Structure 1
């Protein structure tokens, strides 16, 4: 017989003590608005034992804030987030990947744009700790996904002081500011997994870190034609609302059904990447219509050519100045497979791109566990 929460009696004294501790953490502003797990030195030691690292080693710094995240502080926030100790090597690798990405150190986590960290996990660690890759991947229900992503957010709040309305100046933000961590559905993908493109073996466990603004879903249950399906992705990537900088970047998260449409037609990942890159353009007239046909001298962000700070974009000096390419490199399009194999619903994760653009708008790190 299944016992429900209503049927489980909680000792009143114990419940009162738990509430008192939670209220203490809230009063200290050590939360993201949700309850956190109280941490003792004994519990913290279980996390630190999972990695061969000096607790005082600095994993990540925001230099203009003069604040630094150590292994110990990362462990405290992972425990508070609800991680199990065996998740901690993933959290450490995630911070190492974030540290390689130039956006955060420049203050992007404080931006009005509302960017957020986004993690993709590959390799055997997915099954070992129960990371979800096969359904509701951007939703709730899986402790490893929810708490690993949340461990990053809590540290940004508790170590770097990125509280909303204070150092975090996001105008609207994104749900990814709570937690954003998914795993690739390698078992149902027709292609090699994402991390092997960086030179890792399939047996390696790796975290890839992105800076993202949004996740946009693509409903495409109507076609088995790879060109039609690819153009649905293209149209989402090249929308004018995403063009803050001269260029944008995207992570295509294909469900197995969509990946099979491409694979059955003989398309590789590179074929899909090439198609998207070549077709992700806008007529200049459409950019003129929304006031994004030029760049700012100061920021190189898009604005109207009528603006006094404007300068021509790169396409203006090309052989076809009336066609504007929205992707700077083929590598600006990353491709992975995740989600359930039950419907044609994929996603475009909108990746925040440096300007001038960086060829690889992401960073990655191998997951290392103690004794391995």
Structure 2
């Protein structure tokens, strides 16, 4: 027998590693994994997750009507436990599902997109410290259990409850690493502005999750300038790349490193000023769009197509007689958050399949149960 020996402390038992390995292989054989080992779940361990919420285990937290499938609190808890979450993370997972329900762009079939979309979660408020969410260095990377497992809980549920497996209902052509996990926290302590949830009407003492569906995360290296207009143009140039212009317009999220956020703020810029400046600079010329065959839009879908396409109609910029084709409907189609370490001029542009100017999809995290 291969065993992991205990220390002899009261109540401690030896663990048979072969039994653990057999359990992991059983889960993998059943297809209940994202390709990485998952945590086996017992009814007693599941009860610890369900004890963190006032919701009934049968309550529905997310639906995919086109698949005729729903996810209950119990199913969400099972997959959170399998993902490696601790029970105290589960209220954040439930808030994430609530936020993703609000997002809902444009139908939930986008989760199956050939583009390879994935949910991204942004967490605000005191829960960040309470459960150890990373908001600083390597925020999009590995190393923090809460970030890794909360995001992974969403993906495992997509696989096990909704059947979104690669080569089956998940039709991603190439996919993205975010399909394993994508959960960050805002670095409120080093942000010069109000946190995202406070900006949108919540109290600083609240904890909240903002959910969105994303296509990619593109990093910006801008260590060369202290001129806010130059930095805004760098961000806009990345946002307006023609390869991302699938629809008539796009939406996005700027994840500013603290140095870039503080650069803007030191010149008196608010978040609204950043959004406005990037919106004004994020455009393509008509000639740029002609060169890549995206100078018109489809009458039926509003996807970009060549002007000679049989379904082509002029886009709104052409109808207005403008040669500048803005990629955002308005400044409000862009979220601004602050995350990362204060050690370099690095930020990120997140390309989203989100609302084109509506309020972001934010849900409050329930307070810990006494």
Measured against the shorter chain, the TM-score band is over 0.9
**Within 5 Å, which residues of 2 pair with 1:163-174?**
163-174=165-176
Give the distance between the partners of 1:78 and 1:105, measured in 2 at CA: 24
**CA deviation after TM superposition for structure 1 residue 329, in Å:** 1.8
Question: Does the aligned pair in 2 maintain the 1:351–1:361 contact within 8 Å?
Answer: no
Give the distance between the partners of 1:234 and 1:331, measured in 2 at CA: 14
Question: 1:100 pairs with 72, 94, 102, which one?
Answer: 102
Aligned: 1:367 with 2:365: yes
| 1:214 match | 216
Structure 1 gaps of 5+ residues are 1-7
RMSD of the TM alignment (CA)? 1.6
Aligned: 1:74 with 2:76: yes
Question: Does the aligned pair in 2 maintain the 1:174–1:214 contact within 8 Å?
Answer: yes
Question: Does the aligned pair in 1 maintain the 2:3–2:15 contact within 8 Å?
Answer: no
Give the distance between the partners of 2:15 and 2:339, measured in 1 at CA: 44
Q: TM-score, normalised by structure 1?
A: 0.94
Q: Secondary structure at the match of 1:76?
A: helix
Distance 1:353 1:46, change over 3 A: closer
Aligned: 1:293 with 2:287: no
| 1:348 match | 349
Question: Does the aligned pair in 1 maintain the 2:56–2:73 contact within 8 Å?
Answer: yes
Question: Does the aligned pair in 2 maintain the 1:51–1:369 contact within 8 Å?
Answer: no
- Cα shift readout 1:282-316 (whole Å, capped 9, x = no counterpart): 11110000000101122210010011121111111
Q: Secondary structure at the match of 2:88?
A: helix
| 1:61 match | 63
- Cα shift readout 1:104-153 (whole Å, capped 9, x = no counterpart): 74311111011100000000000000000011000000000000000000
Give the distance between the partners of 1:362 and 1:311, measured in 2 at CA: 30
| 2:325 match | 324
Give the distance between the partners of 1:219 and 1:274, measured in 2 at CA: 21
Structure 2 gaps of 5+ residues are 6-13
Q: Secondary structure at the match of 2:58?
A: coil
**Within 5 Å, which residues of 2 pair with 1:56-205?**
56-103=58-105, 105-205=107-207
| 1:38 match | 40
Range with greater deviation from structure 2 (272-281 or 150-159): 272-281
Distance 1:158 1:114, change over 3 A: same
Q: TM-score, normalised by structure 2?
A: 0.95
Give the distance between the partners of 2:50 and 2:272, measured in 1 at CA: 40
**CA deviation after TM superposition for structure 1 residue 369, in Å:** 3.4
Question: 2:242 pairs with 240, 243, 250, which one?
Answer: 240
Task: List structure 1 segments (4+ residues) > 4 angstroms apart after TM superposition.
Answer: none
